[in-house]
Amino acid sequence: MALYQAPVILGILSPSIIAMSINSFHYVKVNGIQLCFLRWGDPKSKKPPALLVHGTGFVAATWRPIAEALMKEYVVFAIDRRGHGRSTVPKKGYEFLDFAEDLAGFIEALGIQGAYGIGHSAGATDILLAAGLLPHGFARVFAMEPTVQDPTIEWPTEIELSEKQRAVIESRRRRCEEFASRDEVFERYSSRPPLNIWRSEILQEYVAHGFKEVGSERVRLRCSPDIEATMIESIYRAMANCYHGDWRGDPFSLLLRIHCPVTVSSSAHSPAIYRKMAEIAARVIPHARLFRFDRAGHYVPQANPEMLLDAIRKFAQVTLMRTPV
């Protein structure tokens, strides 16, 4: 008996995901690439937009349970970040500002205004920086453990990553990229940290949409290990407050230009560095507050979706009368 409840069975889409797999995959060209996105709800309705952005290595489809719950109140959009899922995989362009500019371009291309931005990890960083680039795009932001660097202090001129950080980067670069089947992927990930704590149905979405077919049954990661390792290195440099960016300068100065209300969350069982970065973000962003999930770790959207939905809705109620500047 298969462990992975495949959405594609003998080449026929199962009814439970037909709506998402056929009707809700869309593409828009921004910054010279194609971004794939999912949409739940009628964009012509009068419901406000919500915009969901996943973290490093994952895909838009992992938001499905959250999106289906939120579509009662919002038209929900979720993107595959560049290098992920069905979006373009460029050879370069994986700096923090590249992702933020993609998101700002997406918002402008679709004519979105006053969105509820909800992001996890690096996806939360994308939303925060995009809110600095495009203030009218967001009515409020819920950012879960974003990667940030303090823009109010001077960078170190040079700093080396630790041996442990280098080892993690290299382990990501060497991670298994290809598997015999989706069953093998699901069995492997569901039995080992950190993804073994994910809800089964959310892990199934990742297995379905985070891998592509490379034969009759074999599958390969859509976000390649090399690209993931490149992104992880930038994340570690920001953690050490030594991310220098590129010719465009420090992207984290955009945090100071955010006008909408922001909740920055951390989790009690996450590594200390995530809590530290959440504290930095809440301190430097105007109109930001710090929130903690007491019984959760880093993977709140994937392991504790009901807990997240409750926090998302409560923050919306508090800020309902606020409008973007």
pTM exceeds cut of 0.85: yes
Q: Could you tell me which of 223, 228, 221 has the C-alpha nearest to residue 169? A: 228
In a domain, 180, yes or no: no
In a domain, 157, yes or no: no
Which of 49-58, 163-172, 179-188, 305-314 is predicted least confidently? 163-172
Give the dihedral sign, CA 68/69/73/76. Answer: negative
Sheet of 288-293: strand order equals: 25-30, 33-40, 75-79, 49-53, 115-120, 138-144, 262-267, 288-293
Number of domains in the chain: 1
What is the pLDDT averaged over residues 145-149?
98
Helix (H) or strand (E) holding 265: strand 262-267
In a domain, 88, yes or no: yes
Identify the band that residue 10 occupies on the pLDDT scale cut at 50, 70 and 90: very low
Dump pLDDT digits (tens) for 240-273: 888 988 889 899 999 999 999 999 999 999 999 9
Q: How far apart are CA 319 and CA 136, in angstroms?
A: 16
Residue 5: the pLDDT is 53
Q: Could you tell me which of 96, 144, 147 has the C-alpha nearest to residue 117? A: 144
In a domain, 31, yes or no: yes
CATH number at residue 58: 3.40.50.1820
Do 120 and 55 touch, CB atoms closer than 8 A?
yes
Q: Is residue 9's pLDDT more than 80? A: no
In a domain, 128, yes or no: yes
Residue 3: the pLDDT is 52
Which of 29-43, 119-133, 158-172 is predicted least confidently? 158-172
In a domain, 201, yes or no: no
What is the pLDDT averaged over residues 135-140?
96
In a domain, 236, yes or no: no
Structural domain boundaries, residue 109: 15-148+247-318
In a domain, 98, yes or no: yes
What is the pLDDT averaged over residues 101-118?
98
Q: How far apart are CA 47 and CA 252, in angstroms?
A: 31
Residue 15: the pLDDT is 31
Q: Is residue 201's pLDDT more than 90? A: yes
Residue 2: the pLDDT is 43
Identify the band that residue 281 occupies on the pLDDT scale cut at 50, 70 and 90: very high
Dump pLDDT digits (tens) for 63-103: 999 999 999 999 999 999 999 999 999 999 999 999 999 99
Q: Around Cβ 162, how many Cβ atoms within 10 Å? A: 11
Do 169 and 229 touch, CB atoms closer than 8 A?
yes
Tokens of 92: 């370069």
